[in-house]
Structures are given as C-alpha cells and as structure tokens.
C-alpha cells in the first residue's frame, strides 16, 4: 500500500513510478479524494468547536432568563450535532474510497527493475550448468516410463477434476524427499527458522500480502470465510501483522513447507498436460523480515539460497530479473529462477524471489522500533525455495535415460534411503 503523505509531497515521482506499470494520471485522482476527505474532517472539527462553544453558553442564557437565546443556542447545538455526524460520515466515505483506490494499486518498481512489456523483456543475470546432451529424444515428465506408473492423472480427475495428480510409489517418495531435502538445507546451511503454519487464513491476512482485493479469483475461499493460502508467503509474512518488533530481532528469516492452492483462473489452456500447473501443490517458501536498509542485500541472499538447491540437485538453471510488465502486483523487484526442462527444450520458472519494500508492511501495519527512534515500517521479502512439484519435474526430465529409467541426483540419496535411480518399471532402487 502506498503512503498518502509521500504522494502529497511528490506526486510527480509517484506518477512516474506508476507509469512504469502502465498506469497514468493517478496522483490527481488520489489527491482529489484526499483533499475532499481532509476538508470534511476539518469542517467536522470546526463544527465540533462551534457546538462546544454553544453548549457552554446554553447554561448561561438559561441562568439569566434569556429564553429566546436559550432556545436559539439549544437549536444550534442540535443542528451542529447533526452536521458533525453528516461530515464524519462523508469523511469516512471518502476515506473508504481512498483506501480502496490505494489498495488496488501495484507497488512502484525498484529503479533496478528493467522496463518491459512482458516476460520476453525479462533480463538474464546469469546461468549455471550446461544442459545435458541426450542421444535420444527427451520426453516430458509424464511420458517417461519410470514416472508414468506413479503419476496418476485419471484417478485425480475422478477425485477432484482437472489440474490434480495422485502420486504413488517412487513418485510420492521422491516428492517427499525433495521437500525434506530443501527444508533441511535451508535450516542447516542457510540459517532459516523452520516454521509450520495454517493453510487456512482470515481475509485480512490475504489483504496484508496483497492477494486481496484485486486477485480474489486466483484463490479459493471457504463457505465460512477462510481463504486457502496460495503460498506460505501469506502466513509467514503476516506473523508480524499489526506488530512493532524490536530492531535487535531483525532480520527474521522463515522457511515453511506447505500445501498451496491456486485456482489458476488466468491460465486457461496453458500447461494442461502433466503436473506443471496444478490447483493443489507444495512449496518450500522462504520469507525474510528486515530493516529497509538491509532488504536489497537480503534479496540477493535469498536468491542465492534458492540457487544452491538447484546446484545441489545438479539442475541447469538461469537467473532472471523480471521487467515491469512481468512483475508481481506487490513487488518492487523479482528474481526468477528458471530450470532447464529437456522435455520442453526450454527453461521454466521454479522459483520467484521478490522484495516488496514496505508495501506489504503498510497494508499489515507491521513496524519495527529502531534503537532510540520512532517505529518505522519493515521491509518484507519472499521466495520459493523451491516449488516441489516443478523441481520433481526437472529431476525426472534431466535424469531420464534412454531405457526409460531415471538417474537421481546424489544430493537426494540420503533422503531416499541410499536409493539412486528409478527403473523403467517405476521401482525405486
């Protein structure tokens, strides 16, 4: 959420930031509502002062027997009461209009975020690893014999509909091993605090991280008002919702492995085959809560935490900086990690690591107290470390062999009881 005082002080800078998002002329609209709101508040305060003054004179008029003045003042007090109520109602209405408008506006991109229209304008930062040359035609994950028995889309469709999968046998074991490997690496090597959180949240938590009000159709809501989290970003970030934390406790670095739920409302017809884009999936999510001056360095640190997972799994990837046209609603800057998928012959996103600045903190009223200073808004960051299902796809496709088996990365062997591959028949051996 944006600071109205900043917009008042420098509307041109605000408009320039919004223009990078493809939005124009917003400051004049915002400031018109803000001016009307403040005028109503000032008028109500003036009317209240007049009412107070008249109230003090009522008794004096009554005491000296001036009945006409007494009745005039009493009527004035009553009229001012009604006027104050009306002005306060009008001020609240303007305040609601202003809040609704500001809540619906995206974050201003970081100066380091490149301008662009869509994902084609994203900028590559670096690459790691070389895609393996295969002497045979690479298959997509759901076509690989070693995986086919354990990826049951037909039963999932019977149970829940499209964009679901039932994992069995080696696929379920590999999926679980990946999540545990990611968690343990982040906890033991990256010093993140393992956290377990609900997957059902109150509506205000979704507002806090920016999923609402604009993107409600992308998530699921229960009949009694809870929302299913699209990612643990919602719960981990909202740990500091409406709190003032001590500076000494920062940075706070969390990691959680959760089920995630997305309606995929905007992806009709995209990635319908296999398990690349699902309504229910798992992620290992990282969230950092920092001081403003530390958030840029923390963004690079979090990106490196995600990159390490891919490197340990021996998966070629590239790190991209998203352009303004591909940047998430609440983010200032985002690094996407795209893993190489031989079956698709392209890189696909497996992690987004983003810095929101104080955008989410303002929505959540999350602040910290600098030593000897007044409370200030925190900075929040989040990133996948990684998306478990998509990493499973990458492991299968990069490890596939001509005989239909899959060779598994050495880093996973301890989490698989020493097993090293999946046979073409689907056995973990």
- Cα–Cα dist 92/101, whole Å: 14
- Cα–Cα dist 73/51, whole Å: 9
Contacts of 248 (CB under 8 A, 6+ apart): 371
Examine the residue annotation and report whether 92 is marked as an active-site residue of this protein: no
- Cα–Cα dist 343/271, whole Å: 13
The alpha carbon of 217 is separated from its chain's Cα centroid by a whole number of angstroms, namely 15
* β-pair partners for 151: 167
Q: 194, 349, 369, 421: which one is catalytic? A: 349
Contact between 67 and 3 (Cβ < 8 Å): no
Examine the residue annotation and report whether 363 is marked as an active-site residue of this protein: no
351 is in an annotated binding site: yes
399, two tokens: 């490890």
Q: 262, 301, 362, 363: which one is catalytic? A: 262
352 is in an annotated binding site: yes
233 is in an annotated binding site: yes
Examine the residue annotation and report whether 352 is marked as an active-site residue of this protein: yes
Q: 27, 219, 352, 354: which one is catalytic? A: 352
Torsion of CA 386, 387, 390, 391, to 10 degrees: 30
429 is in an annotated binding site: no
- Cα–Cα dist 231/383, whole Å: 10
Q: 298, 362, 390, 405: which one is catalytic? A: 390
382 is in an annotated binding site: yes
Nearest of 108, 125, 25 to residue 327 by alpha carbon: 108
* β-pair partners for 288: 253, 381
Q: 277, 291, 304, 419: which one is catalytic? A: 277
262 is in an annotated binding site: yes
Please enumerate, by residue number, every residue annotated as part of a binding site for L-serine.
231-233, 262, 285, 382, 384
| Residues involved in catalysis | 262, 277, 349, 352, 390
Annotated binding site: 231-233, 262-264, 285, 349-352, 382, 384
Where is the binding site for ATP, in residues? 262-264, 349-352
């Amino acid at each position: 959420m944006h600071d109205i005082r900043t917009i008042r002080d420098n509307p041109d800078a605000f408009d320039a930031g919004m223009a990078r998002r493809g939005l124009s002329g917003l400051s004049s609209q915002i400031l018109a509502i803000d001016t009307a709101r403040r005028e109503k508040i000032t008028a109500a305060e003036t009317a209240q002062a007049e009412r107070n003054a008249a109230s003090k004179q009522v008794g004096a008029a009554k005491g000296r027997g001036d009945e006409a003045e007494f009745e005039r003042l009493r009527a004035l007090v009553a009229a001012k009461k009604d006027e104050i109520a009306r002005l306060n109602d009008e001020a609240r209405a303007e305040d609601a209009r202003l809040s609704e408008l500001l809540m619906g506006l995206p974050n201003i991109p970081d100066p380091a975020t490149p301008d662009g229209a869509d994902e084609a304008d994203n900028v590559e930062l670096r690459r790691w690893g070389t895609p393996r040359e295969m002497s045979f035609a690479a298959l997509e994950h759901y076509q690989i014999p070693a995986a086919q028995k354990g990826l049951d889309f037909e039963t999932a469709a019977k149970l829940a509909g499209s964009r679901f999968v039932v994992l069995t046998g080696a696929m379920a074991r590999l999926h679980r091993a990946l999540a545990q490997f990611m968690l343990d690496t982040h906890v033991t090597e990256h010093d993140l605090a393992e956290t377990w959180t609900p997957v059902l949240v109150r509506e205000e938590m979704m507002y806090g991280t920016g999923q609402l009000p604009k993107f409600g159709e992308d998530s699921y809501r229960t009949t009694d008002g809870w929302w299913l989290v699209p990612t643990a970003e919602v719960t981990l970030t909202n740990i500091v919702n409406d709190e003032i934390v001590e500076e000494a406790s920062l940075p706070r670095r969390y990691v959680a492995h959760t089920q995630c739920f997305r309606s995929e409302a905007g992806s009709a017809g995209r990635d319908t085959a296999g398990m690349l884009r699902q309504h229910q999936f798992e992620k290992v999510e990282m969230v950092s809560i920092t001081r403003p001056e530390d958030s840029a360095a923390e963004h690079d640190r979090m990106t490196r935490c995600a990159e390490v997972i891919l490197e340990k799994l021996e998966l070629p990837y590239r790190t991209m900086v998203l352009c303004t046209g591909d940047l998430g609603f609440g983010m200032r800057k985002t690094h996407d990690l795209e893993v190489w998928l031989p079956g698709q012959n392209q890189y696909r996103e497996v992690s987004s690591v983003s810095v929101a600045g104080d955008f989410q903190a303002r929505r959540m009223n999350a602040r910290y107290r600098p030593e000897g200073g007044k409370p200030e808004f925190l900075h929040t960051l989040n990133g996948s470390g990684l998306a478990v299902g998509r990493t499973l796809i990458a492991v299968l496709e990069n490890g596939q062999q001509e005989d239909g088996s899959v060779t598994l990365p050495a880093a996973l062997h301890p989490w698989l009881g020493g097993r090293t591959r999946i046979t073409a028949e689907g056995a973990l051996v």
